[in-house]
Amino acid sequence: MSVRFSFPFLATDWSQFDAGWGDEGCGAEAVIFDRSDLVDSARWALVETNLRRAAPLMGSRLLFHFPVNESNYVEDPLIRDRLWYCLDLAANLGLGGIVLHSNIVRPVRAWSPESANVATLAFLDFAALLARRLEGAPMWVGLENMPIMGNDALDLDPTLVFPADFAGLCSGQLGITWDLCHWSYSVHVVEKILTRELNERDFYPRLREAQYLDFARICDRIVHFHFSGFRGLARVHGGGVKQCHEGVGPWEADVPEAVYEQMLSAMAGATRAQTITFEVAEESYRVRPRTRAVMEWCRRRIAEDPAWASRSHTNVGFR
């Protein structure tokens, strides 16, 4: 099965979309971030209009990223109804899939091991309902792993962070979107806590020992990847860098470049995953030199990697 590279674009900004991506053999991921994009009638009308414009140009190469901020569909009936609508819309437009976070985001100090367990049980119930809704669906839904801490250390969602958190969740068209930036940051934080370089373990409601290649254990359930690196450490208090910055190239990340090479190689085992979306920070999302640099970094390594040899990668070229 081939792997396709994909560009994200803001679904409320058509100027970020480039129909030429399809000519390159690439895909697109339409992204929205906030509750207002769903519930404000004018903003949602713009999102839907742009999805309908992009779908005939991209077909199943078009994905949709459901928002995270204040979009708790497990507890909020309005957001849950909008999610059901998005599932129907994606099926009708022929989209390839929907990326979905667990969306149980709360302030850091609101979490405890007990509250994390309660949230997880509620999410398990919802995931079973979602899996039933997806029976016979023409597209997948990929549950995405969250970073172990929010980028500014103000809030977090510990529901889906580690591979073990996905146990019992995925079947049929309900799979996993694995975010390498989120995962590399999570493992990095665990390392810092275990070596006592980070003395804030009480702010992490669910800690597990973790290695960078642990996600290989769940490759059979991964349907999609997000790829980039991170720089900086989010701190609840104390000195040092207090924010994590996502979307950097592997060669400029806090985790060694060789680790990203190893993770990219392990990604070959996810034979259901046809697409890698590059969530790379740019000065302008109309011109994307950094994204293309990360794509080229991956393209070269995939072409040279024996782990990818059994998979066709003829779709990873671009002009």
Q: Which amino acid is at 201?
A: R
| Mean pLDDT of the 115-140 span | 97
70: left (phi over 0), alpha (psi -120 to 50) or beta: left
62, 27 contact by CB (below 8 A): yes
154, 208 contact by CB (below 8 A): no
Distance separating alpha carbons of residues 278 and 283, to the nearest angstrom: 15
> How much is the mean pLDDT over the chain?
94
Tally of domains in the chain: 1
| Per-residue pLDDT at 314 | 42
pLDDT in tens, 65-80: 999 999 999 999 999 9
In the predicted structure, residue 301 carries a pLDDT above the cut 50 = yes
Nearest to 249 by CA among 228, 277, 221: 228
For the whole model, what pTM was predicted?
0.96
Q: Which amino acid is at 40?
A: D
* Number of CB atoms found within 10 A of residue 2's CB: 12
230, 212 contact by CB (below 8 A): no
Domain range for 234: 4-316
Confidence label for 313 from pLDDT (cuts 50, 70 and 90): very low
In the predicted structure, residue 193 carries a pLDDT above the cut 90 = yes
In the predicted structure, residue 311 carries a pLDDT above the cut 80 = no
Q: Copy the structure tokens of residue 35.
A: 């509750």
In the predicted structure, residue 315 carries a pLDDT above the cut 70 = no
| Per-residue pLDDT at 65 | 98
Distance separating alpha carbons of residues 164 and 167, to the nearest angstrom: 6
50, 11 contact by CB (below 8 A): yes
Residue-wise burial string across 196-234, b where 16 or more C-beta atoms lie within 10 A, e elsewhere: eebebeebbbbbeebebebbbebbebbbbbbbbbbbbbb
pLDDT in tens, 263-283: 999 999 999 999 999 999 999
Nearest to 66 by CA among 115, 139, 164, 154: 139
CATH number at residue 104: 3.20.20.150
| Per-residue pLDDT at 236 | 87
> How many Cα neighbours within 13 Å face the side chain of 41?
0
Give the β-pairing of 229-231 and 245-248: antiparallel
Q: Which amino acid is at 123?
A: F
Q: Identify any residues that bridge with 293 across adjacent strands, giving them in sequence order.
A: none
